[in-house]
Amino acid sequence: MKPADQKRLLREMIFYRRFEERCFEAYMEHKIGGFLHLYVGQEAVATGVLEMARVKHDYIITGYRDHIHAIKTGAPAREVMAELYGKETGSSRGRGGSMHIFDPTVNFMGGYALVGQPFPLAAGLALACKHKGTDQIAICFLGEGANNQGTFHETMNMASVWKLPVLFVCENNRYAIGTRVDRSTAVVDQYKRVCGYNIPSSQHDGQDIEVVMESAKKAVDHVRGGKGPYFIEYLTYRYRGHSMSDKTALYRSKDEERQWQERDPIRIYDRKLKQAGVVTDADIKAMEQEIDAMIENDIVKFAEESPAPRVEDLNKYVLDDNPDPRWIGPLQNSY
């Protein structure tokens, strides 16, 4: 990879971290409501996998921890922030909020709150790609907790028999809210769970973006090459609570948290790039300043200044707002 690209990737990850932290602040200021799930600690996974995908071409879908997946796919960050602020300019026009970022213009097909719900949707996107004969693939990002849902097993089976071009990315951050993976799951290594469906799979370090990219490239090539689905598991960690109200002390130790902090994906990558002479501390400092300024002066400002949805538009988007009368009527009666 070219040094310029490496530098860009580092900058992206720093930006994603700062973006999420800024969301946290905005939540504390009551600018953001509802449930807010942050991606802090897991940045290398979405960044690395999507770097290897053909974004805006492939279909991407995920759960409620979705801001960064949307942005890396190409959803404008200011629209994502405006969505969190509940504004008309938001990705989902203020109707969806944090858990439901959508941007079909870049084939980001949404964030979903129901655990396990995206599995079949992803397979459906892949079915459409296969049906149309395009070289697009579908990529589904979900946590390890979702793999205990029935949709996981049912979808893996169908994706496999129908050889659908879908890549399942399992972000194993070890906890589903307060439940550690070994307390809920008989086979803790998630990649082994798809063997029963004859889907090839592998497990990798999710904190080192170079490892992520290398493994993701192989997986993407496999799927795009028409060989059917692939399941890839990344071992990662969320540094914050599950959502804003979650208290991690109830279920995990400070010691464990510290160990994972040492494997911070941004630190791992910036250390590598510094050693390779691609960036200096001064470069990173400058990046951070530029990012913070951009977040404040562009992203947050846009969200703050955007209008809220109009109350008169409450019924908009429930059904097609401009339906073709040939299909829906009205039917003429004589009274």
Partner 1 sequence: MAELAYWEAIRRAHDEELARDPNVIVMGEDVGLIGGTYKATSGLYQKYGEKRVIDTPISENSFTGIGIGASMAGMRPIIEIMSINFALLALDTLINAAAKIRYMSGGRATCPIVMRTPGGTAHQLAAQHSARLARVFMSTSGLRVVTPRGPLDACGMLKSAVRCNDPVIVIEHERMYNLKEEIPDHEYFRPLEGAEIVRRGTDITLIGYNLSLHMCLETAKRLEQDGVSAEVIDLRALKPLDRETIRRSVEKTHRVVIAEEDEAAVGVGAEIMATVIEECFFALDAQPVRIHAADVPVPYAENLEKVAIPNADDVYQAALKVMGRI
Ligand X SMILES: Cc1ncc(C[n+]2csc(CCOP(=O)(O)OP(=O)(O)O)c2C)c(N)n1
Q: Show Cβ contacts of residue 185 under 8 Å, excluding neighbours closer than 6 positions.
A: 144, 147, 148
Stretch that binds partner 1, among 7-15, 110-118, 189-197, 324-332 (CB under 8 A): 110-118
Q: By CB under 6 A, tell whether 111 contacts ligand X.
A: no
Q: By CB under 8 A, tell whether 140 contacts partner 1.
A: no
Nearer to partner 1, 176 or 278 (CB): 176
Q: By CB under 8 A, tell whether 63 contacts partner 1.
A: no
Rounded to whole angstroms, how far apart are CA atoms 182 and 267? 28
Here the tokens at position 236 are 């990662």
Residue 11, burial from CB neighbour count under 10 angstroms (0-12, 13-18, 19+):
middle
x/- binding map, residues 140-159, to ligand X, per CB under 6 A?
Answer: --xxxxx-------------
Q: By CB under 6 A, tell whether 314 contacts ligand X.
A: no
Stretch that binds partner 1, among 8-16, 54-62, 145-153, 264-272 (CB under 8 A): 145-153
Within positions 67 to 86, which residues make up the interface with partner 1, using CB under 8 A? 83, 86
Rounded to whole angstroms, how far apart are CA atoms 173 and 213? 18
Number of residues that bind ligand X (CB under 6 A): 14
Give the residue, chosen from 160, 173, 190, 215, that forms a contact with ligand X under the rule CB under 6 A: 173
Neighbours of 226 (CB within 10 A): 11
Q: Which residue has tokens 């889907």? A: 199
Instruction: Look at residue 163 and give its three-state secondary structure.
Output: coil
Q: By CB under 8 A, tell whether 157 contacts partner 1.
A: no
Neighbours of 295 (CB within 10 A): 20
Give the residue, chosen from 54, 104, 105, 114, that forms a contact with ligand X under the rule CB under 6 A: 114
Rounded to whole angstroms, how far apart are CA atoms 19 and 143? 21
Closest CA to 222 of 236, 202, 205: 202
List of residues contacting ligand X (CB under 6 A): 65, 113-115, 142-146, 173, 175-177, 242
List of residues contacting partner 1 (CB under 8 A): 33-35, 83, 86-87, 92, 94-97, 99-100, 112-116, 145-146, 148-150, 176-179, 183-185, 247, 250-251, 308-309, 311, 313-315, 318
